[in-house]
């Protein structure tokens, strides 16, 4: 079966712009989590969605937002981009929320570069 | 504060040797997971060990968990060049308002 699909794969944006990233989870998975990965901060949790509701949110400014649709696909949006937002954004899906015994399945990520 | 931290930060070994990576965490957990990440790609789930388990095997991987020391180790036996990657441990971060908290990772290089 298809894995977690993240689009686009690469993105270059200018400071001040906004960007929307997309994540399609594995079919049947209802939980989607987003992570930001940078060399300096490592993997930082952004938010988690389950059944179209945000269940958990990390310590990021309000410029970072997300949503989940009825088909479990998720989008995250970053407004007023800053240079420090340059990162690999990873999406992970799982069947359920909480502590799935099978772990999370990650997409290949979207590499965002802000110039 | 960060829940999981791997040690060492980087490890370089020859093909065929064993590689051991350690993870320490601060608070009680329900389970601990190990993931692998090839350069610039997504993470791949390797193994999950529950708090009531002490050891778990999967192919060439062996994970141990010592809840009294709040630590876990990942052993890769008979390493191959294809094992070159970063390895992360992830612990239940719900007490921190997160789902899973990842450590900074161990960068493993397996030289042919």
The pairing of strands A110-114 and A10-13 is: parallel
Whether A45 and chain B come into contact, CB under 8 Å, resolves to: yes
- 3-class SS shares of chain A: helix, strand, coil, % to 5: 5, 50, 45
Which residue of B31, B35, B104 is in closest CB contact with A99? Answer: B31
pLDDT at A101: 65
Here the tokens at position B8 are: 């060492």
Name the percent of chain A lying above pLDDT 70: 95
Q: Answer whether A4 sits within 8 Å of B98, measured CB to CB.
A: no
pLDDT category at B1 given cuts 50, 70, 90 is: very low
CA distance B109 to B90: 21
CA distance A89 to A109: 5
Q: Answer whether B45 sits within 8 Å of A56, measured CB to CB.
A: no
Name the percent of chain A lying above pLDDT 90: 80
Here the tokens at position B21 are: 């990576």
What residues in A contact B33, CB-CB < 8 Å?
103
pLDDT at B31: 86
Residue A94 has pLDDT above 60, yes or no: yes
Higher pLDDT, B95 or B91: B91
B105: nearest CA partner in chain A: A42
Name the percent of chain B lying above pLDDT 90: 66
Q: How many Å lie between the alpha carbon of B11 and the closest alpha carbon of chain A? A: 17
Residue A100 has pLDDT above 70, yes or no: no
Tell me: the pLDDT tens digits for A48-85?
999 999 988 899 999 999 999 999 999 999 999 999 99
Contacts by A44-53, CB closer than 8 A, 24 or more apart: A45/B93, A45/B98, A45/B99, A45/B100, A45/B101, A46/A76, A46/A89, A47/A76, A48/A97, A48/B99, A49/A74, A50/A96, A50/A97
Whether A99 and chain B come into contact, CB under 8 Å, resolves to: yes
Q: Which residues contact A8 (CB under 8 A, 6 or more apart)?
A: A21, A110
Within 10 A of B76 (CB to CB), how many other CB atoms are there?
23
Interval B56-62 mean pLDDT? 97
Contact predicate B13/B36, CB 8 Å: no
Residue B97 has pLDDT above 70, yes or no: no
Interval A26-42 mean pLDDT? 92
Within 10 A of A28 (CB to CB), how many other CB atoms are there?
9
Q: Answer whether A45 sits within 8 Å of B100, measured CB to CB.
A: yes
pLDDT category at A99 given cuts 50, 70, 90 is: low
- 3-class SS shares of chain B: helix, strand, coil, % to 5: 5, 55, 40
Interval B50-76 mean pLDDT? 96
Residue B95 has pLDDT above 70, yes or no: no
């Amino acid at each position: 079966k298809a894995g977690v699909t993240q689009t686009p794969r690469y993105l270059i944006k200018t400071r001040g712009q906004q960007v929307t990233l997309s994540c399609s989870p594995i079919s049947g998975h209802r939980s989607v989590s987003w992570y930001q990965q940078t060399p300096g901060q490592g993997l930082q949790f952004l938010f988690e969605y389950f059944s179209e509701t945000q269940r958990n949110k990390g310590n990021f400014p309000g410029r970072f937002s997300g949503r989940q649709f009825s088909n479990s696909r998720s989008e995250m949006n970053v407004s007023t981009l800053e240079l420090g937002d340059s990162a690999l954004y990873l999406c992970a899906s799982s069947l359920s929320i909480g502590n799935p015994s099978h772990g999370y399945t990650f997409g290949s990520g979207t590499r965002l570069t802000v110039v | 504060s960060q829940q999981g931290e791997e040690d060492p930060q980087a490890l370089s070994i020859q093909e065929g040797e064993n590689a051991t990576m350690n993870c320490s965490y601060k608070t009680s957990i329900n389970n601990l997971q190990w993931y692998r990440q090839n350069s610039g790609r997504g993470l791949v789930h390797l193994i999950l060990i529950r708090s009531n388990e002490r050891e778990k095997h999967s192919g060439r991987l062996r994970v141990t968990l010592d809840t009294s020391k709040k630590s876990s180790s990942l052993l890769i036996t008979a390493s191959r060049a294809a094992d070159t990657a970063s390895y992360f441990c992830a612990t239940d971060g719900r007490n921190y308002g997160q789902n899973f908290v990842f450590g900074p990772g161990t960068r493993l290089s397996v030289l042919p």
